[in-house]
Amino acid sequence: MAQLWSTLIGYVFGNFLFAIIIGRIFLKIDPAKYGSGNPGTANMGAVFGKKWGHHDLHRRFAENRNSIVNCPLSFPG
């Protein structure tokens, strides 16, 4: 059961597209409409500059770190 919950939590966190969140909140632009059309870190860096690409990349690392650390703590054994 713990594996199922861990998988579901990882799936939910993986659905957050930080490039779109950062673009719409801070830049007031939808990054999926520019560059390659892919709302990802590489497109953020290419279209809006390294600063915004790094912001997106750090959010992705934090998301993955939180999933990796919190799931074993939440479901021991």
Cα–Cα dist 66/34, whole Å:
30
Going residue by residue through the chain, which has 77 residues, state the pLDDT in tens, using 9 for 90 and above: 777 887 888 788 778 888 998 899 999 999 999 999 888 899 999 999 999 999 999 988 888 888 788 777 877 76
Instruction: Report the pLDDT value the prediction gives residue 11, as an integer from 0 to 100.
Output: 84
- Give the per-residue pLDDT at 77: 66
> Residue 45 has which token pair?
């860096």
Structure pTM? 0.74
